[in-house]
Structure 1
Amino acid sequence: MCGIVGFAGGLFDLPKKKEVLNQQMDVIKHRGPSGAGDFIDDKVALGFRRLSIIDLTKGGQPIYNEDHTKLIFFNGEVYNYREIRKELEPLGHEFKTDSDTETILHAYEQWGKDVLKKIRGMFVFVIYDLQTKTLFGARDFFGIKPLYYTTLDDGTFMFSSEIKTFMRHPEFKRTLNKKALKSFMMNQYNDLQETFFEGVFRFPAGHYFTYKDGQLDIEKYWDMQFDPSNLSFEEEVKKIDASVEESIKMHNVADVPVGAFLSEGVDSSYVTSILQPQEVFSVGFDDQTYNEVTAAHALADELGLNFNETKVKADDAFAEFDKIQYYLDEPDGNPSCVPLWFLSRFAREKVTVALSGEGADELFAGYVNYGMHSHNTTIKAFTSSLKKLPKGARAKLAKTVKKMPAFPGRVHLYTNLANPKEFYAGQSVIYDIENPSIFGSDEANQYLKPAYQNDTTIQENYQADFDRVKDADPVSQMQYIDMHHFMLNDILQKADKLSMAHSLELRVPFLDPEVAKTAGQVPTEYLINSKDTKYAYRQASAKHLPAAWANRPKLGFPVPIKQWLETDKYYEQVKALFSEDFVSEFFDQGQLLALLDANKEQRINGRRKIWTIYTFLTWYKVYFINIEDYLVLG
């Protein structure tokens, strides 16, 4: 696992190019404390930090091909590289290392961009052709590994694993993207392709690029497909388990210790039961209401694994919250960032690699927002019968239900009948028909100063993706939206950034193209039905887990922000931040303070709104007021 940074094109007359590149590399030394490498010529400056995982002694980068006409910088892991190498060696390719990095380079020589059809893994790589002066690069299928890019005023193309490296380039202008703030308030993360920094963009997942003579071309090479099979339920369960088991075992390739994160949920338990690592890691809070360690400990004991537990104290969470936002590059108001930060640091004391369960809910329909808003069997059965109505009749009935006063099962009924393109607001919310977001569009504008207001809604940002899967069933459409928004821009960003902040490689075996192919062929009624969410997947996990674990409800990382914000000490900390002078640039401070007080007095449940704003203001202070204090952290 590593970090990449580079710049090319433009005037390229920057004095001391190597010095600038080294400063950029130092900013991300947490991604690669094992070593560094670079390449500079008259066209490019490319830098790299390495965390040694495979071929510890000979895997330094850049790696060249046999005649030194091409080189590669690579961040990630390719899990089937040994199989690909066996294809390449009879074709005349000579290897100097046992690394996956070199395998990608030779595979590119042999197959060009079709190398992306061969590899399985998480990656960002850049290959430079020294003869044609062309860069070729790609980001993995799901966007597990991050990549950002920008074009400076002089035409320089610059890219990196983390935005913070750009701040060491003397021509980079650190300007806030005003449009991002409202998107963040509605989602708890910025859901735009342009980041919180004006002119800096996320490179899209499942895409590759070529760059030559100032021309950047970006093309898609992979996307999730939904093509339901005609197999029986039992056959699909077997396929799911075989695919998941194969991927988890493949993700165990490493020359360093490998462990696993373990919570009470089915996803991490499924991974752990197959992987059988020596060390498993879990996190809880000093508030026992939010402690999911007990069941995880019981499973570890049953599997005969060494259980490691850490607990997060509120004082520590608030003391380190600024560092969490620094390492994330962009603000992320998902409360689970807090336990993930501490869990990653704790795990790194014993292992260099850990496996986790991200992606299973998106691939196998695990979220209640896909239509499982009631536990009442009568309501679920009645709704299932209505779903058999013609599409037009369902749409009319959904509109009628939406206008009706609240009644038990109303949300369940509506979300199962309506077209998700009209209402779906993603997974960063607890769904409500009237107010489907942390901040609704109009409500966000009420808090924001005019310069940051706009008319956008969450759904507007989803419409192009809905159009791409318009022929899929409604649940598959919602899965697709979450893969390309919530999972991509929230879940995977925090998973990568907060683990790599502690030089820990986090692997996510559910996010494998072969597992995704299997998931896309499972009929929706096998996944979400009157019995449960991701039902067929749960039955597959039951082949390895006790029934109590296979049937556990979705938990996530429960975080006691309600208790924190109602406690005088932390209430005062948040109030002090909300009262600072710079805040008036963005918000109506009177409304912020009124929201904070109403929540503390329990007149409203405003904790997610408050935490979202607290997150942004903390991040802004880091990146626009005190950035030099943080860049030295590396």
Structure 2
Amino acid sequence: MCGIAGLFHLSSEQAIPSEIIEGMNNSQYHRGPDAGDYFYDPGVALAHRRLSIIDLEGSPQPMMSACSRAVIVFNGEIYNFKSLRDELKAKGYQFNTNGDTETILNAYLEWGEDCVHHLRGMFAFAVWDRQNQSLFIARDRLGIKPFFYSLLSDGSFVFGSELKVLTANPLFDKSLRETTIEDYFTFGYIPEPHTIYQNAYKLPPGHRILLKRGDLAVPESQEYWDIPTTNLPSLTEEEVQAQLVERLKEAVDIRLVADVELGAFLSGGVDSSATVALMSQLQSDPVNTCSIGFDVKEFNETEFAKMVADRYQTNHRVETVSKDDFDLVDKLASLYDEPYADSSAMPTYRVCELARKHVTVALSGDGADELFAGYGRYRWHNNEEKVRSILPLPLRKAIFTPLGKYYPKLDWAPRFLRAKTSFQSMAMDTVEAYHNSMSILRKDERAKLFSKDYQQRLNGYSSLEVFRQYQDKTTQLDSMKVAQYLDLKTYLVGDILTKVDRASMAHSLEVRVPFLDHKFVEWGFAVPSEQNLVQGVGKKSLKQAMEPHLPHDVLYRKKMGFAVPLADWFRGPLKERLYDGLLSQQMRNCGYFNETQLKNLIEQHVKGIRDNSAPLWTLMMFESFMRQNKIGL
């Protein structure tokens, strides 16, 4: 696990000053404190920070191929590198190291751009081909590892593992992309391929780009893999139950290869517990497990984590975090480099901090909710879709549009009475309805929050376009699979994997994700919806398969999530910070917000009229980003 960076002059062989690339690379020192080095060619500079996991003394980067034709910088792990190395050796390729980096190099020399089809793992890499004067870049299929890039004013292509690598270059343009602010206040993150900056991009998952010297612009990225959405196999319940555990166990097994101490997160939920259970069956030594607890019962899952730890006799470590652990508020803005509003980033940061005290690699259960329909919102979406399937859209609009407009927002009421979002969604098609239910601030709420001037500058743009771009690929899916596919393409990448990558790499910790093994995803996404959501129980196929391996209380208790008590914070210790930050001169002058609505959101929450904790946290993270980057002053 590492950090990569580079510069490539597209139209010249202009020398790149060492202080520029070194400054960029040093900004991501935390991603690889074990080593750092550089490679220079005319018009090219590559940089690397290394966290040693496999072949600890060998495999230095940037790495040159044995024939001196190609040079690579690589972040990630290739789990099938040993079998791939044997295949390439049989073809006559020479290997001077025992790691996976050289395997990618030789795979590129053998198969060119199609080398990505041979790689199983998580990766983001760049290969400089000295013979063809080209730079080939690629990102893994699910987007576990990040890749940021931009074209600078001098015609050079710049890339890095974090956005801060790009902003460290003095030629980087820090103008904001205004449409992403609409996206951010919808989703709480900025979806691929965009960033908060106008001229910076994220390479989407499962995409690659080939740049050649002489190009005047960066070519569009090409998709080389996607979650299969057509001609899905018809898996029976018997087939699913017979195969699920063994397929998942194989995905776990190949992620246990490391030359350093390895462990797992154990939250007490189904997904991390399943991972730990299978790890325990695959290795003779006790698994190292880590849990974070809270001193508030409704946020604390440690008793369930202990059940699993006791059953499998793991080396279990627990640390308790105070309910007033909000010291990370400002740190998060610098950690994520752009506005990011998932408050569970705080406990995630803490559990990574704990894990790194004992291990260098940790396995997680991320991806299972998206793959097997574990989120409660899938159940509500499915129920709403039953109504949408009965009534035609014009009739639904006539009935539900007025209800959605005038029904009060009853945050304090039981879930079945909080119907405003559902009424709105009934008047929409499947994709727009899921967009509405996923929104931190719905369309009508964003209209109140944004200034009239900013709304005019949006020129009709809506964050719904983020979902619409995938709509053509979902025509053969049922409504719940549509929601899962959209989450796998957006929420998983932009929120969950982003959260874990930045939080773990801040502590130089590598996290591996067996549920997101692409072969397991290809199989798992084909599990029929009626096997995943059964009588209101999500992830039923996974839970049923894990019944012989985990306690019933772990499998079938109510999903808790990795939450923090925002509502209480904003009425107590963070109340003053809320007023000072959200009503600051910077926020009032930036031109994006209606000042009256900012005050309304705060007052409604502080007085207990509404729970506005989610939009207020989203605003607080935006303010922190603006202040730290001196934007709008």
- Give me the TM-score of the superposition, normalised by structure 2: 0.90
Residue 598 (structure 2) aligns with? 592
Going from structure 1 to structure 2, the CA distance change for 1:169 and 1:73 (only over 3 Å counts) comes to same
Instruction: Assess if the C-alpha contact under 8 Å between 2:251 and 2:517 holds in 1.
Output: yes
Quote the offset at 1:33 in angstroms: 0.3
Residue 41 (structure 1) aligns with? 41
Going from structure 1 to structure 2, the CA distance change for 1:413 and 1:233 (only over 3 Å counts) comes to farther
1: CA distance, partners of 2:453 / 2:429: 34
What do residues 172-197 of structure 1 show as CA deviations (whole Å, max 9, x unaligned)?
Answer: 12222222222111111123632111
Identify which range, 113-122 or 189-198, moves more after superposition.
189-198
Quote the offset at 1:543 in angstroms: 3.4
Residue 630 (structure 1) aligns with? none
1:305 aligns with 2:309: no
Instruction: Assess if the C-alpha contact under 8 Å between 2:586 and 2:632 holds in 1.
Output: no
SS class of match (2:98): coil
Instruction: Give the alignment partner of residue 367 of structure 2, picking from 353, 359, 362.
Output: 359
Instruction: Give the alignment partner of residue 431 of structure 2, picking from 421, 424, 437.
Output: 421
1: CA distance, partners of 2:333 / 2:39: 31
Structural mapping, 1:333-412, within 5 Å: 333-372=341-380, 402=400
1:548 aligns with 2:546: no
SS class of match (2:629): helix
Instruction: Assess if the C-alpha contact under 8 Å between 2:263 and 2:361 holds in 1.
Output: yes
Instruction: Give the alignment partner of residue 513 of structure 2, picking from 486, 499, 508.
Output: 508
Going from structure 1 to structure 2, the CA distance change for 1:219 and 1:11 (only over 3 Å counts) comes to closer
Identify which range, 161-170 or 600-609, moves more after superposition.
161-170
Instruction: Assess if the C-alpha contact under 8 Å between 1:182 and 1:452 holds in 2.
Output: no
Residue 227 (structure 2) aligns with? 224
2: CA distance, partners of 1:549 / 1:397: 43
Instruction: Assess if the C-alpha contact under 8 Å between 2:276 and 2:287 holds in 1.
Output: no
Instruction: Assess if the C-alpha contact under 8 Å between 2:148 and 2:163 holds in 1.
Output: yes
Instruction: Assess if the C-alpha contact under 8 Å between 1:365 and 1:533 holds in 2.
Output: yes
1:579 aligns with 2:583: yes
Quote the offset at 1:487 in angstroms: 0.9
Report how many residues are paired. 607
Going from structure 1 to structure 2, the CA distance change for 1:34 and 1:417 (only over 3 Å counts) comes to same
Going from structure 1 to structure 2, the CA distance change for 1:450 and 1:68 (only over 3 Å counts) comes to same
Residue 411 (structure 2) aligns with? none
What do residues 30-84 of structure 1 show as CA deviations (whole Å, max 9, x unaligned)?
Answer: 0010101211111211111100001000021122222111121110001111111
Report the AA paired with residue 332 of structure 2: I
1: CA distance, partners of 2:378 / 2:168: 44
Going from structure 1 to structure 2, the CA distance change for 1:153 and 1:474 (only over 3 Å counts) comes to same
1:622 aligns with 2:628: yes
Instruction: Assess if the C-alpha contact under 8 Å between 1:542 and 1:550 holds in 2.
Output: yes
Instruction: Assess if the C-alpha contact under 8 Å between 1:175 and 1:197 holds in 2.
Output: yes
Instruction: Give the alignment partner of residue 566 of structure 1, picking from 571, 578, 599.
Output: 571
Instruction: Assess if the C-alpha contact under 8 Å between 1:10 and 1:154 holds in 2.
Output: no
SS class of match (1:532): coil
1: CA distance, partners of 2:555 / 2:322: 30
2: CA distance, partners of 1:104 / 1:321: 39
Report the AA paired with residue 584 of structure 2: E
2: CA distance, partners of 1:281 / 1:200: 36
Going from structure 1 to structure 2, the CA distance change for 1:15 and 1:116 (only over 3 Å counts) comes to closer
Structural mapping, 1:256-275, within 5 Å: 256-275=260-279
Residue 280 (structure 1) aligns with? 289
Quote the offset at 1:371 in angstroms: 3.0
Identify which range, 252-261 or 521-530, moves more after superposition.
521-530
Quote the offset at 1:593 in angstroms: 2.8
Going from structure 1 to structure 2, the CA distance change for 1:201 and 1:231 (only over 3 Å counts) comes to closer
Residue 74 (structure 2) aligns with? 74
2: CA distance, partners of 1:11 / 1:114: 25
1:525 aligns with 2:530: yes
1: CA distance, partners of 2:325 / 2:7: 38
Going from structure 1 to structure 2, the CA distance change for 1:393 and 1:565 (only over 3 Å counts) comes to closer
Report the AA paired with residue 517 of structure 1: E
Report the AA paired with residue 614 of structure 2: R
1: CA distance, partners of 2:82 / 2:318: 35
SS class of match (1:624): coil
What do residues 545-585 of structure 1 show as CA deviations (whole Å, max 9, x unaligned)?
Answer: 12222223433212111111111x31112222123211112
1: CA distance, partners of 2:445 / 2:586: 21
Quote the offset at 1:404 in angstroms: 8.8
Q: RMSD in angstroms over aligned alpha carbons?
A: 2.7
2: CA distance, partners of 1:144 / 1:394: 40
Quote the offset at 1:285 in angstroms: 2.3
Going from structure 1 to structure 2, the CA distance change for 1:298 and 1:566 (only over 3 Å counts) comes to same
Quote the offset at 1:171 in angstroms: 1.4
Residue 100 (structure 1) aligns with? 100
Structural mapping, 1:131-150, within 5 Å: 131-150=131-150
SS class of match (1:201): strand
Residue 249 (structure 1) aligns with? 253
Instruction: Assess if the C-alpha contact under 8 Å between 1:8 and 1:158 holds in 2.
Output: yes
1:448 aligns with 2:450: yes
Residue 498 (structure 1) aligns with? 503
2: CA distance, partners of 1:527 / 1:266: 14
2: CA distance, partners of 1:590 / 1:616: 18
Identify which range, 106-115 or 11-20, moves more after superposition.
11-20
SS class of match (2:471): helix
Going from structure 1 to structure 2, the CA distance change for 1:55 and 1:43 (only over 3 Å counts) comes to same
What do residues 461-506 of structure 1 show as CA deviations (whole Å, max 9, x unaligned)?
Answer: 2112011221222111111111111111111111111110110111
Residue 30 (structure 2) aligns with? 30
Quote the offset at 1:626 in angstroms: 12
Instruction: Assess if the C-alpha contact under 8 Å between 1:394 and 1:418 holds in 2.
Output: no
Instruction: Assess if the C-alpha contact under 8 Å between 2:533 and 2:540 holds in 1.
Output: yes
Instruction: Assess if the C-alpha contact under 8 Å between 2:245 and 2:546 holds in 1.
Output: yes
2: CA distance, partners of 1:286 / 1:232: 44
Q: Which runs of 5+ in 1 are unaligned?
A: 375-379, 628-634
SS class of match (1:77): strand
Instruction: Assess if the C-alpha contact under 8 Å between 2:373 and 2:538 holds in 1.
Output: yes
Residue 603 (structure 1) aligns with? 609
Instruction: Assess if the C-alpha contact under 8 Å between 2:14 and 2:42 holds in 1.
Output: no
SS class of match (1:424): helix
